[in-house]
Amino acid sequence: MIKQDDPLWYKDAVFYEVYVRAFHDSNADGHGDLPGLTAKLDYIQNLGFDCIWLLPIYPSPLKDDGYDIADYYNIHPDYGTLEDFEILTKEAHQRGIRIIADLVLNHTSNQHPWFQSARKSRSSKYRDYYVWSDTNRKYKDARIIFIDTETSNWTWDDTAGQYYWHRFYSSQPDLNFNNPAVQEEMFNVMKFWLDLGIDGFRVDAVPYLFEREGTICENLPETHDYLKRLRKFIDTNYPGRVLLCEANQWPEDVRPYFGDGDEFHIGFHFPIMPRIFMAIRKSDISDVKNIMARTPEIPSNCQWCTFLRNHDELTLEMVTEEERQWMWQEYAPESRMRLNLGIRRRLAPLLDGDQRKIELANSILFSLIGTPIIYYGDEIGMGDNIWLEDRAGVRTPMQWENSPDVGFSHADPKKFYLPVINDPIFGYEHINVKDQQNCPSSLLNQIKKMIAVHKAYRAFGRGDFSWVDVDNDAIAAYYRTYQDEKILVIQNLSATSQAIAFPLDTIHQPIDILNQKKLHLTNKPPFSLNLAGYEYLWLKI
Ligand code: GLC
C-alpha cells in the first residue's frame, strides 16, 4: 500500500510518464488501454517507480493526443471505463505506486459541449467560458507556441461570428478564466478525480490561464492567485495529493509557481534539460553550472522535477537563439527532426544509441537536483520515427518483446495506432524489455539500479547541492548532502579517460554506492582518480 505517513513523499520519489495508448493493449484493438497498463504494473513496481503520470485519458477528438478534452468526467473509449480507472488506481496503490494525470485547465477541445454551445449563441451561458473578440488584434504581445502550424492565437469562427483565442492548436479554444463559472468548473473536475482516488495532477500549460492587454499573457498575478486557490482546495480536502506544474519558463519565472510553499508542490525544471544535452556533446559542464546558478531556492516543502525527454518535442524555448541553432545543428541535423522550437527525437537516438552516454545522462538526471521523471520506453533506449506526424514519432508502442507485435497487443500490427519502431538500430529485435531484463548490464538494469540508489539516500531528493572544483570542465563533480549523508558524484562527460585529483578528506574511504563496493584507491594522498570515457561514480563519503 502507499505509505501515507510522509507528506513530502514526492521529494524522494521517482516518476514514470506513461502514454496509455502506447503502453499495453488488453483487448486487441491496437490501442493501449487502462487494463493494459494495470497488467503491467508489476513491471513499473519492479523498476522502483513511485508515481505514474498519465497523459490525458479523457474523451477527445485527439487533435492534440487528448490535450484537447471533450469531456472532463470520463475516459476515452479507446482506454476503457471509469471503472477501469478505479481498478488501475487500486492496483497501483496496492503496489505502493501513486497515479497522477494531466489536468488541462487552459483550454478544451472545440468539440467540447461548452464550446459547441458557446459558438452557437451569444446568449448561451457558455459563451463567456471562452475568449471572444471582434478583432484579431488584441493581446499582440503573446507569442505563438505551435509556430509550425498556427499563424495567430486568434481564429475566426463563422458560427460564432467572432474570433476566439487559443494558445495552442486552433482546435483548442482557451477557457476564459476571468469568468468565475470557469474557475468553479475546474474545482469540480479536480474533485471528481480526487474522489475516484487519483493522487494528484500534472497541471498542463499553467502560464497561459489569463490574458491581459500590454503583457505577454504569461505568468500573470491573476494566474498565481487562482492556482493558490486550487492548492488550498487540495490541502483542505485532500491532503497528501500533489500538484505538478508545467510551466516551460526560466527558473526565476517558475519560482513564483511555488509561492510560499502554497502553490505547486513540484515544478518541472525545463532549462536544465537541454543543457544536459549540451554538456554531453561539448564534454563541458559549464552550461549546466550556469543554469544551476540561475536556479533560485524554493520553499522546503517544494521540489523541482527533472527530465531528459517527454512526450513532446525536446523543447528549445529556454535557451538563447545561438544555443538553439547549435542544438539543432548538433542534435537535429535533418530538418524533419525539428518541430516548432524543438527536436522530435527520443533520448537514445539523440545520444547515438550509445549506452555509455545514455547512462551518463541518466546519472546526471538522477543525482543533480529534484525528482526525476522517466518517459516510458527511455528506460530501454527506445528509438523514434521522425516521419510520423507532429510528435507521434516519440509515442510509438512500448517494445516489450522481440516479436512483430512487440508484446504490445494481440491485434494485427497493421491495426496498431502507430507502427512499431523497426529500424536496424532501435527496432524491437534489438531494443525490448524482455531481452534487457535478462541481461544484467542492460540499460534497463542500470536504470533500475539508479532508481534504487536514488531512493536509498535522502541526499538525492532532499540534500544540499554543491559543486566540487576539479579544474576540468569535462568532469561534473558535486556533493549531495543531507544530515549525516554525504554523496560525491563524479562524471566524465568526455569520451576519453580523465585523471582528476582529490583532496584527502574528500575521498576518505569512499564507497561506490551504485556497485556496492569500496573504491580502490591505488596511490597515496593526494588521491587521484582515473575515470574512463563517460564513466560516472556515485560515492558515499
Ligand atoms: C502541453 C503538453 C503538450 C500539449 C500542450 C497543449 O505543453 O505537454 O503535449 O500539446 O500542452 O495542451
- Classify burial at 259, counting beta carbons within 10 Å of its beta carbon; exposed 0-12, middle 13-18, buried 19 or more: middle
Least confident among 7-21, 441-455, 498-512: 498-512
Domains of the chain as residue ranges with CATH: 9-106+180-455 (3.20.20.80), 113-165 (3.90.400.10), 463-540 (2.60.40.1180)
CA distances from 304 to 14, 55, 365, 440 (A): 12, 20, 12, 31
- Backbone torsions φ then ψ of 45, nearest 5 degrees: -65, -45
CA distances from 384 to 232, 313, 350, 367, 422 (A): 41, 11, 10, 26, 9
Task: Spell out a b/e string for 111-144, using b for 16 or more CB atoms within 10 Å of the CB, else e.
Answer: bbebbeebbeeeeeebbbbbbbeeebebbeebee
**Index of the ligand 1 atom closest to the CA of residue 248:** 7
Mapped onto helix, strand or coil, the DSSP state of residue 130 is strand
Identify the residue whose C-alpha is closest to ligand 1 atom 2.
204
pLDDT of 199 above 80: yes
**Element spanning 486, H or E:** strand 485-492
Q: Is the CB of 53 under 6 A from ligand 1?
A: no
- What does the block give as the cell for 188? 469540480
Q: Which residues are catalytic?
A: 204, 246
Least confident among 383-387, 471-475, 516-520: 516-520
pLDDT of 529 above 90: no
**Index of the ligand 1 atom closest to the CA of residue 167:** 6
**Index of the ligand 1 atom closest to the CA of residue 310:** 8
Q: Is the CB of 205 under 6 A from ligand 1?
A: yes
Gap between the Cα atoms of 72 and 59, Å rounded? 8
- What does the block give as the cell for 220? 500573470
What percentage of the chain has pLDDT greater than the value 70? 98
pLDDT digits (tens, 9 = 90+) for 137-193: 999 999 999 999 999 999 999 999 999 999 999 999 999 999 999 999 999 999 999
The mean of the pLDDT values for the chain is 96
Of 166, 268, 312, the residue with max ligand 1 atoms within 8 A of its CB, to mutate for a pocket test, comes to 312
Measured in Å, residue 275 CA sits from the centre of ligand 1 at 21
Of 204, 209, 248, 390, the residue with max ligand 1 atoms within 8 A of its CB, to mutate for a pocket test, comes to 204
pLDDT digits (tens, 9 = 90+) for 22-45: 999 999 999 999 999 999 999 999
pLDDT band for position 521 (50/70/90)? low
Measured in Å, residue 362 CA sits from the centre of ligand 1 at 24
CA distances from 53 to 19, 376, 538 (A): 9, 10, 28
Gap between the Cα atoms of 391 and 384, Å rounded? 10
CA distances from 505 to 138, 252, 540 (A): 62, 35, 13
Residues 6+ apart with CB under 8 A from 424: none
Q: Is the CB of 457 under 6 A from ligand 1?
A: no
Mapped onto helix, strand or coil, the DSSP state of residue 53 is strand
Of 67, 145, 218, 244, the residue with max ligand 1 atoms within 8 A of its CB, to mutate for a pocket test, comes to 67
Please report the pLDDT score of residue 3 as a whole number: 81
Tally the residues of the chain: 541
Gap between the Cα atoms of 434 and 379, Å rounded? 12
Please report the pLDDT score of residue 507 as a whole number: 56
Average pLDDT over every residue of 361-383: 98
pLDDT digits (tens, 9 = 90+) for 60-88: 999 999 999 999 999 999 999 999 999 99
Q: What's the pTM? A: 0.97
Please report the pLDDT score of residue 503 as a whole number: 59
Gap between the Cα atoms of 363 and 105, Å rounded? 34
pLDDT digits (tens, 9 = 90+) for 101-120: 999 999 999 999 999 999 99
Measured in Å, residue 108 CA sits from the centre of ligand 1 at 12
- Sign of torsion over alpha carbons 520, 523, 528, 529: negative
Q: Is the CB of 174 under 6 A from ligand 1?
A: no
Please report the pLDDT score of residue 489 as a whole number: 96
Identify the residue whose C-alpha is closest to ligand 1 atom 10.
64
Measured in Å, residue 392 CA sits from the centre of ligand 1 at 13
- Classify burial at 47, counting beta carbons within 10 Å of its beta carbon; exposed 0-12, middle 13-18, buried 19 or more: middle
Q: Is the CB of 67 under 6 A from ligand 1?
A: yes
Vertex 282 angle, CA 388 and 515, to 5°: 90
Gap between the Cα atoms of 423 and 431, Å rounded? 10
Please report the pLDDT score of residue 141 as a whole number: 97
Gap between the Cα atoms of 309 and 365, Å rounded? 11
pLDDT band for position 523 (50/70/90)? low
Please report the pLDDT score of residue 502 as a whole number: 72
Measured in Å, residue 474 CA sits from the centre of ligand 1 at 35
pLDDT band for position 505 (50/70/90)? low
Identify the residue whose C-alpha is closest to ligand 1 atom 9.
312
pLDDT digits (tens, 9 = 90+) for 416-463: 999 999 999 999 999 999 999 999 999 999 999 999 999 999 999 999
Average pLDDT over every residue of 53-59: 98
Measured in Å, residue 146 CA sits from the centre of ligand 1 at 10
pLDDT band for position 242 (50/70/90)? very high
Q: Is the CB of 64 under 6 A from ligand 1?
A: yes
Measured in Å, residue 56 CA sits from the centre of ligand 1 at 10
Please report the pLDDT score of residue 52 as a whole number: 98
- Specify the higher pLDDT residue, 529 or 422: 422
Radius of gyration of the chain (CA): 23
Please report the pLDDT score of residue 500 as a whole number: 87
- What does the block give as the cell for 412? 494485427
Identify the residue whose C-alpha is closest to ligand 1 atom 4.
67
**Index of the ligand 1 atom closest to the CA of residue 168:** 6
pLDDT of 506 above 70: no
Please report the pLDDT score of residue 508 as a whole number: 65
Average pLDDT over every residue of 323-352: 98
Identify the residue whose C-alpha is closest to ligand 1 atom 7.
205
pLDDT band for position 480 (50/70/90)? very high
